[in-house]
Structure 1
Amino acid sequence: MQISTTRTEQPVADDRLTEILANPGFGTHFTDHMFTVEWTPDAGWHAARITPYGPLTLDPATAVLHYAQEIFEGMKAYRHDDGSVWSFRPEDNARRMVRSSQRLALPQLPAEDFVAAVDALVSEDQRWVPDSEGEKSLYIRPFMFASETFLGVRPAQHVTFMVICSPAGAYFKGGVKPVTLWLSEDYTRAGRGGMGAAKTGGNYASSLLPQQEAIGQGCDQVVFLDGQEGNYVEELGGMNLYFVHADGRIVTPETGTILEGITRASIIELAGKLGHQVEERKFSIDEWRQGVESGDIVEIFACGTAAVVTPVGSLKWQGGEAPAPASTDLTMRVRQSLVDIQYGRAEDTFGWMHRIC
């Protein structure tokens, strides 16, 4: 893929950038440039370019606005102490986007082009990558959408893939704290044969109402059960779950209707190296409640790109509550091990890190 570059004539001033990186928040500030490449059946992927960051001009009949044919990824770039910049398992994000493309009837961007696009943009805007203090990073958002102007239910014949970046601060400003969960008994995130395993905006849109319900009940996040029996734990609105048993076993809900998280897969490998057997299987809500009550479940944690790993506290539902497990020891050990690899403080024996510049 040949990438042309048109640099902005108005980059953010150095003093202003210093202010932003000191307290970047999340998803609020964006770098000077963006990456774009387009697809049509005749030309394939073409016109790959880095241009100044700016608004898009879309026709009111642009297909994505009506039929939600779009997918995205979420990943980060990390600055190591020597000033170099690295990403974490970008090939896995690329492969997951291919799977999402297949489910949403979108063209597949080759994994090597996905990685090249991310590398090119991050290299161009590398001054936006914060130092590692306080777990700061550069959040990277690749996304693909149906950009053809038409009204009709069919796969789009013009598709756009873009990458934008945004500096991000620590997910937990006051330190890592257990999140309280609300059990959604009226809504499901996905069903068999649906889009649950694809990273598409519709999955997140459907989680917003139950998430509002969770907040209204004084909880941080919502947890969903399967759509077929309403009995098996799936995932949170945007994070995967793990249950640590007293004998050291770790259980995580099996995929199929849930997103195959990159952090999820990494923890499975990391936990195995730490001596823990990890089971991927169906896990019922009763097993959760009874396991906490009996003391068989000693820790619960969740993971995702933004939060990395977070301990889970109490689980609430209409008329009941399961208390928080007693320990967070393994949770914090796994979290620290993963973060240390990402920021270059520990040896990457898995080959997960990819140097960008």
Structure 2
Amino acid sequence: MLYPCPSHPCKHKGFHKETIPMEKKNLDWGNLGFAYMPADYSYVCNYRNGVWEEGGLTTEHSLTLSECAGIFHYCQEIFEGLKAYTAENGDIVCFRPDLNAQRMGDSAQRLCMPPFPEDRFVEAVKEVVRANAAWVPPFGSGATLYIRPFMIATGNVIGVKPADEYQFRIFVTPVGPYFKGGDTAITITVADYDRAAPHGTGNIKAGLNYAMSLYPGEKAHAAGYSENLYLDSQTRTYVEETGGANVLFVDKQGDLIVPQSATDSILPSITRRSLVTVAKDYLGLTVIERPVKFEEVLNGDFVECGLCGTAAVISPVGHIEAEGVDVTFPDGTETSGPVMKKLRATLTDIQAGKIEGPDGWVVKIL
């Protein structure tokens, strides 16, 4: 077994063999919330003078920045989210980190930030997970090690322009389920606000998009709803996504309906893309990816609805309520309907190693 060298935080390039086993942390794994708990190591790498430096692990979990750093003034910030977990055979693995690397590169280009090399991204994820192996929850606990790569502008900027220095970091934290109700269907509402402008930044994973959703999100929570459903901001007639997840529907024929955006303002969820493959290749479902009018939802054309993303995989939606809106999904009113249940079970079985997935989906770390 390989373990991190604690004497060289930030600079070490590898791991040293140790005879003492790395024991799991003494945590109540089955009752973890979805909250930040500092682990032992983070990963950090700086961009200066036009190049990414070597980078490495650090035990420092705080940042010290200039008051003029670009992140504070022009919001050059992007992030990703993925998970490491213990498979059924005891391996520590993560799921499709190459797609997170690719999406983060796309986000960086859109915000005039230097993309972190995709191969280095994947290796950094592996390195920080190995270093924090004691924080990876055991198989069957329902918990995972959440991995948060992010990049911010650290260089000083006064005029409106991109910064010239950046920092890429990854921290990890053990978490429980995103929605505590598990498979209990949630009720969502329809936002009066817009999430993203047509041809704007809705298709990248940038903090600025999520900042826009905070106020309507708090209003929804105060009214007793779990999430907001956003319609397209140009016509307010098409379903886009919620504040933190893509939307899936099942129609009366049992087909999986995946909303698309005519103005490219829906985030390309890795979980959604994986579920589409599972639906087609493992469950033999018909999958239709197209713009979905909210009128179809109001007319009762769909019997199931789910929100999909890294944190929750699929959260069933039983009801959508708003002023003049009262929609119930008959096949998933209280818990996941049959299609969403199969989709979630199949994908999580692939992730856990119970079912063999496509090549490259499950990446062994330890």
Q: Give TM-score scaled by structure 2 length.
A: 0.89
Aligned to 1:268: 276
Aligned to 2:45: 37
Between the aligned partners of 1:110 and 1:284, the Cα distance in structure 2 is 38
Deviation at residue 128 of structure 1 after TM alignment: 0.8
Q: Decide whether the 8 Å contact of 1:5 with 1:51 is kept in 2.
A: no
Of residues 302, 316, 319, the one that matches 2:321 is: 316
Between the aligned partners of 1:132 and 1:351, the Cα distance in structure 2 is 21
Between the aligned partners of 1:81 and 1:251, the Cα distance in structure 2 is 31
Q: Are residues 1:125 and 2:132 paired?
A: yes
Of residues 200, 212, 217, the one that matches 2:223 is: 217
Cα RMSD after superposing both structures: 2.0
Map 1:149-188 to 2 at 5 A.
149-184=156-191, 186-188=192-194
Percent of residue pairs bearing the same amino acid type: 38
Deviation at residue 277 of structure 1 after TM alignment: 1.6
Between the aligned partners of 2:150 and 2:313, the Cα distance in structure 1 is 21
Q: Decide whether the 8 Å contact of 1:31 with 1:53 is kept in 2.
A: no
Deviation at residue 306 of structure 1 after TM alignment: 0.6
SS of the equivalent of 1:17 reads: coil
Structure 2: 5+ residue stretches without partners: 1-9, 16-21
Q: Give the direction of change, closer, same or farther, for the CA distance of 1:172–1:219 in structure 2 (3 Å limit).
A: closer
User: After superposition, what is the alpha-carbon deviation per residue over 1:217-275, rounded to whole angstroms, capped at 9, x for unaligned?
Assistant: 32111000001101100001111111111212221111410100000100111111211
Letter in 1 for 2:40: D
Between the aligned partners of 2:244 and 2:118, the Cα distance in structure 1 is 24
Aligned to 1:253: 259
Of residues 244, 248, 259, the one that matches 1:242 is: 248
Deviation at residue 68 of structure 1 after TM alignment: 0.6
Between the aligned partners of 1:104 and 1:277, the Cα distance in structure 2 is 36
Q: Decide whether the 8 Å contact of 1:252 with 1:280 is kept in 2.
A: yes
Deviation at residue 3 of structure 1 after TM alignment: 6.0
User: After superposition, what is the alpha-carbon deviation per residue over 1:33-59, rounded to whole angstroms, capped at 9, x for unaligned?
Assistant: 1111111243x1103121113211111
Letter in 1 for 2:288: E
SS of the equivalent of 1:135 reads: coil
- What is the count of residue pairs matched by the alignment? 344
Of residues 143, 155, 174, the one that matches 1:136 is: 143
Q: Are residues 1:356 and 2:365 paired?
A: yes
Of residues 32, 39, 62, the one that matches 2:69 is: 62
User: After superposition, what is the alpha-carbon deviation per residue over 1:177-211, rounded to whole angstroms, capped at 9, x for unaligned?
Assistant: 11111111x31111222110010011111111111
Of residues 225, 229, 233, the one that matches 2:235 is: 229
Of residues 320, 332, 335, the one that matches 2:344 is: 335
Aligned to 1:82: 89
Q: Decide whether the 8 Å contact of 2:255 with 2:286 is kept in 1.
A: yes
Between the aligned partners of 2:232 and 2:182, the Cα distance in structure 1 is 32
Deviation at residue 302 of structure 1 after TM alignment: 1.2
Q: Decide whether the 8 Å contact of 1:239 with 1:304 is kept in 2.
A: yes
Letter in 2 for 1:131: P
Q: Decide whether the 8 Å contact of 1:20 with 1:29 is kept in 2.
A: no
User: After superposition, what is the alpha-carbon deviation per residue over 1:131-181, rounded to whole angstroms, capped at 9, x for unaligned?
Assistant: 122321100000001010232211110011000000111334443111111
Between the aligned partners of 1:56 and 1:138, the Cα distance in structure 2 is 22
